[in-house]
Amino acid sequence: MDNSNRLNFDWGLIQAFLAVVEHGAVARAAEAIGATQPTLSRQIAALEAEIGAALFTRGARGSVLTAAGEALVYPARQMQQAAHALQLAASGQSQSLKGTVRITASENTSVYLLPPILASLRIKYPDIQLEIVANNAVDNLLEREADIAIRMSKPQQDTLVARHLGGLKMGGYASKEYLARKEVPFSPATMGEFDWIGYDKNPAIVNSTRALGIELTRESFAIRCDNQLVCWQAMLDGMGIGFGFALLAERYSQLVRVLPENWIPDTQVWLTAPLELRSNPRIRAVYDHLAEHLIQLIQGQNKV
């Protein structure tokens, strides 16, 4: 067989190429992946030498793909997906309960709901270390940004295992101090005279209320922030009416439910993980522990 035209790709060079494609400039890509700009530039130059063509044109606005670069993007991404699949398959074969499991959940879930569940997990499995990613972004489990995700919407990828755990009751609340400052009592007719706390760019609240026939926009919220903890604290400190888990609100004596019970639909909770990782005993142990205790939490909700 004649191998004279076969290219000997270094996977690291492909990763460097994709980083520049994603971030649009060598400097931004180097910062994002924790490399130095000269190192990344040398990797791109090495790949260009291997291929025999320039992959980017460099300008004041960043790195622009050439025709050769454009042609390389799709197969490079296919290689990336294959590498991730290989990593997942290899992880799925690990039989040890010793190691790290990375869990992602929303800020409020991570801060207020998970700690006692994870504390009991650590007692049961002391050799499992936990990493918590507290944010509302839908981390890509297939790219190992997390091993397990607790999410409030059903995942769409068919390569993920997903378990529906039930619904968390929601409510609209305000502090007693805030309501005492208002000159009118709260009612559906006076809703417009109250300050509302909601998200900035996240459309979740707007979409939920719209489904109930109530038209809100981003500007409907006097206080806006996409961080749930900031919104929750703003409500506790008397800045307006906010939204949150009913089982969490009942812990705070200064909060009053202002919206009718069951006016806001329950938030559905899903536990997800890549299919390959469910065969990993360490991932399975954490997954099953989370499922058991979150279901207990959901089933034990008190009406507030």
Q: 156: exposed, middle or buried (C-beta count within 10 Å: 0-12, 13-18, 19+)?
A: exposed
Q: Where in the chain is the domain with CATH 1.10.10.10?
A: 11-92
Quote the CATH superfamily of domain 170-257: Periplasmic binding protein-like II (3.40.190.10)
Kind plus residue range of the DSSP H or E element containing 64:
strand 62-65
Query: What's the confidence (pLDDT) of residue 303?
Result: 47
User: Model pTM greater than 0.75?
Assistant: no
pLDDT for res 214? 66
- In the predicted model, residues of the chain with pLDDT beneath 50 are 1-4, 303-304
CATH 3.40.190.10 location in the chain: 99-168+267-299, 170-257
Residue owning tokens 């992946």: 33
SS3 3: coil
Four-point Cα dihedral 196, 201, 207, 208, nearest 10: -50
HSE, side-chain direction, 13 A CA sphere, residue 224? 14
The 10s digit of each residue's pLDDT in 69-95 is 888 888 888 887 777 666 656 655 555
**What pLDDT score was predicted for residue 135?**
83
Give dist(CA 273, CA 98) in Å, integer: 18
Paired sense of beta strands 255-257 and 170-175, if any: antiparallel
Fold of 11-92: Arc Repressor Mutant, subunit A (1.10.10)
99-168+267-299 has which fold? D-Maltodextrin-Binding Protein; domain 2 (3.40.190)
Burial class (CB in 10 A: 0-12, 13-18, 19+), 201: exposed
Q: What is residue 143's predicted lDDT score, i.e. its pLDDT?
A: 60
